[in-house]
Structures are given as structure tokens and as C-alpha cells.
């Protein structure tokens, strides 16, 4: 009887990194949607920015950051297969 060769499982740290990157990317997208919808976005404890100023200052940074985190999560997922 022959045994099937099992592929090695993904290490726990890489699996946690994959899920962290995926949830972080989703969180950033939710922040962008909230800013586009017009809700106030607060930074820190007492500073509140209107959505237009927030989108102008941090929108591109959060968009690029969420795309990179999603790409990292996708790369980890594809490495697993």
C-alpha cells in the first residue's frame, strides 16, 4: 500500500500574517468608504477632520496601503496552495 505525500502545512506565523493583512486591508477600505460617504473622521483624541480634507490628505495613502496589504494577503494565500 502506498501513502499519499502530504504537502507541508503553512507555518502558523505566516497564516496569522495572511489573516492580519487581509483584515487590515478591509479595515482601510471601510475607512475610505466612510470618508467618501461624508462621515467625520477623527484623528487622535480631539482632532476632527471633515471628509474632504481627510480624503485630500490621507485618502491616497490609505488606498495604496490597503492595496499593498491585500496583495500581501493574496500572495500568502497563493503560497499556501
Q: Which domain holds residue 64?
A: 12-80
Query: Alpha-carbon distance 16 to 12, whole Å?
Result: 6
pLDDT for residue 30:
84
Angle at 37 between CA 60 and CA 53, to 5 degrees: 45
Q: Residue 4: inside a domain, yes or no?
A: no
Per-residue pLDDT of 11-68, as tens digits, reads 788 888 888 888 888 888 888 887 778 765 655 556 676 777 777 887 888 888 888 8
When pLDDT is cut at 50, 70 and 90, the band that residue 4 belongs to is confident
The total number of structural domains in the chain stands at 1
Q: Residue 7: inside a domain, yes or no?
A: no
In this prediction the pTM is 0.64
Amino acid at each position: 500500500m502506498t501513502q499519499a505525500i502530504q504537502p507541508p502545512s503553512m507555518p502558523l506565523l505566516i497564516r496569522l500574517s495572511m489573516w492580519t493583512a487581509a483584515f487590515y486591508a478591509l479595515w482601510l477600505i471601510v475607512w475610505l468608504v466612510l470618508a467618501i460617504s461624508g462621515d467625520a473622521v477623527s484623528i487622535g483624541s480631539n482632532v476632527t477632520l471633515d471628509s474632504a480634507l481627510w480624503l485630500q490628505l490621507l485618502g491616497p495613502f490609505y488606498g495604496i496601503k490597503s492595496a499593498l496589504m491585500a496583495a500581501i494577503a493574496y500572495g500568502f494565500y497563493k503560497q499556501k496552495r
